[in-house]
């Protein structure tokens, strides 16, 4: 085992053991513990570190190597410090033990995304220790609160401390898992685009009455059940956007697969024949999706309810504006029931960065050396990451790490916020080398 592997393993284990669990409440997370750890780790380089704490315990840390040329492009390596909660019953091992077993580090955050938070820090320290004096500035950011909308992390920093964190180019989660292309060569997805959210509350109204006399009552719960059913069954049109098209073309699939994947009239029929996990992923990349997720209503067994509140997780494709998403939601609910509901929504639109950038070129060059014969493909992130704040501020933001072949795309997908999250040490070494080489080439 080389130094990089041992160092990455050790730092990842420590980050996992810090248990910076973000349950969405302001008092959770306590990322200060991992900021202390990283400050100790990076502090030995002699570089100045800045800490930001918009709420007690919700710290983020910034380290920078100042470039010599203010006009040269800058690069931000950004990793979040928080993780989502676990249900220990579903785990084979202690989710916060950071155990090393057969070359895998186990624990919450192993792939989302403490693996990259750790390897970015190691790349940064190696660069600093080697006396790296780039033209463009390199910034490392260990950030709080990614798992709850970035309120006390990236969102806050971009709004209040833009100069400290802004860079022309941003690398954060996730991407880089090896997917076999149609010609057998590995493809490495770069997350260039992220769907938006249009989270909606649907309040369903009725008329109260006595539960002992239900005939012809206007029961909000019964109406809500129908609203939920309609939203769940709603199938908006298939949209083939530019990122999806370039992904499919870049994968080198045979025409019998590539053609239906790019044809809005044939794609849904193709999904019927595919395994569920794959079909679900393809569907989300090509549709604005609607998932009813929360229902609150009723007061007492003998009272006909007059109010039920539903929450719907709507995820929008690029180009689907708030008004479009609203129209789709109304179409799903149906004209006959719209008079019984009030809808309020929070529009957080999709973001995307172009492929034609110096960062893409550098990533392709560096990755093809570390993963022989590989090629990059753009990919759609169906969930959200901190990249959106930086893209809106003007950065080119990509999600990218590197993973070995010990971790399949399917395994990787199920571990995100799931049970038995783990990452192999080879992947840690690959990511560290990639981040270091990319910084050297892009900022030189």
Interface ranges with Zn ion (CB under 5 A): 112-113, 173
User: CA 282 to CA 289: how far, in whole Å?
Assistant: 12
CB 137 within 8 A of CB 65: yes
Q: In the numeric block, which tokens belong to residue 179? A: 């997917």
Measured from the CB atom, is 165 or 308 closer to Zn ion? 165
173 vs 241, beta carbon nearer Zn ion = 173
Q: Closer to Zn ion at the Cβ: 81 or 363?
A: 81
- For Zn ion, the closer CB: 174 or 243: 174
* Cβ-Cβ contacts under 8 Å for 142 (sequence gap 6 or more): 31, 34, 35, 38, 60, 61, 79, 80, 81, 117, 121
Taking residue 44's Cβ as centre, other Cβ atoms within 10 Å add up to: 10
**Strand, helix or coil for residue 359:** helix
Q: Select 174 or 288, whichever has its Cβ closest to Zn ion.
A: 174
User: Closer CB to Zn ion, residue 11 or residue 81?
Assistant: 81
Q: Which residues face 10 on adjacent strands?
A: none
Alpha carbon of residue 355 to chain centroid: 19
Q: In whole angstroms, how close is the CB of 387 to Zn ion at the nearest point?
A: 11
Distance CA 415, CA 89 (A): 15
Closest to Zn ion by CB, 112 or 194: 112
- Smallest distance, Zn ion to C-beta of residue 380, A: 16
CB of 30 to Zn ion, least distance (A): 17
Token pair for 33 = 């513990």
Give just the sign of the alpha carbon dihedral 291, 293, 294, 298.
positive
Distance CA 275, CA 270 (A): 11
Shortest CB 57 distance to Zn ion, Å? 19
The least distance separating Zn ion from the CB of residue 146, rounded to whole angstroms, comes to 5
Q: Which is nearer to Zn ion, 114 or 371 (CB)?
A: 114
Of 410, 6, 419, nearest in space to 177 by CA: 410
Q: How many CA atoms lie within 13 A of 193 on its CB side?
A: 24
Alpha carbon 351 to its chain's center: 12
d(CA 304, CA 299): 9
Shortest distance (Å) from residue 15 CB to Zn ion: 13
Q: SS3 of 313, please?
A: strand
> Please, what is the minimum distance in Å from the beta carbon of residue 79 to Zn ion?
9
Q: Give the separation between CA 311 and CA 435, rounded to whole angstroms.
A: 40
Shortest Cβ 222–Zn ion spacing (Å): 39
C-beta of 290 vs 379, nearer to Zn ion = 379
Residue 98 vs 399, nearer CB to Zn ion = 399
The enclosing H or E element of 422 equals strand 422-424
Alpha-carbon distances of 112 from 20, 24, 219, 417, rounded to whole Å: 12, 16, 43, 8
Shortest distance, position 397 Cβ to Zn ion, whole Å: 14
What's the min distance (Å) between Cβ of 379 and Zn ion? Answer: 15
Q: What share of the chain is helix, strand, coil (3-state, %, to 5)?
A: 40, 25, 40
């Amino acid at each position: 085992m080389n130094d990089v592997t041992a160092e990455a393993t050790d730092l990842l284990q420590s980050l996992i053991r810090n248990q910076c669990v973000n349950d969405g409440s302001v008092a959770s997370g306590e990322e200060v513990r991992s900021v202390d750890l990283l400050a100790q780790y990076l502090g030995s380089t002699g570089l100045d570190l800045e800490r930001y704490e918009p709420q007690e315990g919700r710290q983020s840390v910034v380290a920078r190597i100042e470039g010599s040329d203010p006009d040269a492009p800058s690069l931000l390596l950004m990793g979040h410090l928080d993780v989502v909660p676990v249900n220990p019953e579903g785990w084979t091992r202690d989710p916060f033990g950071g155990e090393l077993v057969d070359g895998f580090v186990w624990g919450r955050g192993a792939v989302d995304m403490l693996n990259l938070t750790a390897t970015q820090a190691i790349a940064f320290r190696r660069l600093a220790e080697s006396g790296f004096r780039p033209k463009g500035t390199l910034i490392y950011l260990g950030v709080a609160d990614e798992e709850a909308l970035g309120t006390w992390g990236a969102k806050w920093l971009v709004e209040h401390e833009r100069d400290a964190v802004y860079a022309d180019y941003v690398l954060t989660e996730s991407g880089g898992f090896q997917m076999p292309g149609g010609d057998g060569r590995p493809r490495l997805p770069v997350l260039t685009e992220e769907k938006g959210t249009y989270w909606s509350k649907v309040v369903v109204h009725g008329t109260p009455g006595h539960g002992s006399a239900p005939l012809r009552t206007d029961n909000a719960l019964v109406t809500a059940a129908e609203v939920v059913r309609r939203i769940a069954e709603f199938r908006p049109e298939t949209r083939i956007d530019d990122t999806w098209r370039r992904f499919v073309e870049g994968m080198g699939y045979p025409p019998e697969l590539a053609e239906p994947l790019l044809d809005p009239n044939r794609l849904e029929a193709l999904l019927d024949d595919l395994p569920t996990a794959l079909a679900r992923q393809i569907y989300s990349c090509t549709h604005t999706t609607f998932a009813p997720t929360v229902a609150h209503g009723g007061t007492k067994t003998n009272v006909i309810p007059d109010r039920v509140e539903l929450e719907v997780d709507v995820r929008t494709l690029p180009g689907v504006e708030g008004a479009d998403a609203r129209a789709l939601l109304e179409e799903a609910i149906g004209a006959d029931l719209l008079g019984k509901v009030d809808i309020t929504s929070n529009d957080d639109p999709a973001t995307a960065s172009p492929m034609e950038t110096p960062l893409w070129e550098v990533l392709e060059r560096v990755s093809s050396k570390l993963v022989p014969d590989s090629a990059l493909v753009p990919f759609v992130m169906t969930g959200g990451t901190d990249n959106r704040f930086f893209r809106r501020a003007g950065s080119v933001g990509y999600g990218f790490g590197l993973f070995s072949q010990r971790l399949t795309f399917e395994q990787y997908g199920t571990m995100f916020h799931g049970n038995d999250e783990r990452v192999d040490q080879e992947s840690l070494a690959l990511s560290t080398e990639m981040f270091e080489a990319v910084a050297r080439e892009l900022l030189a």
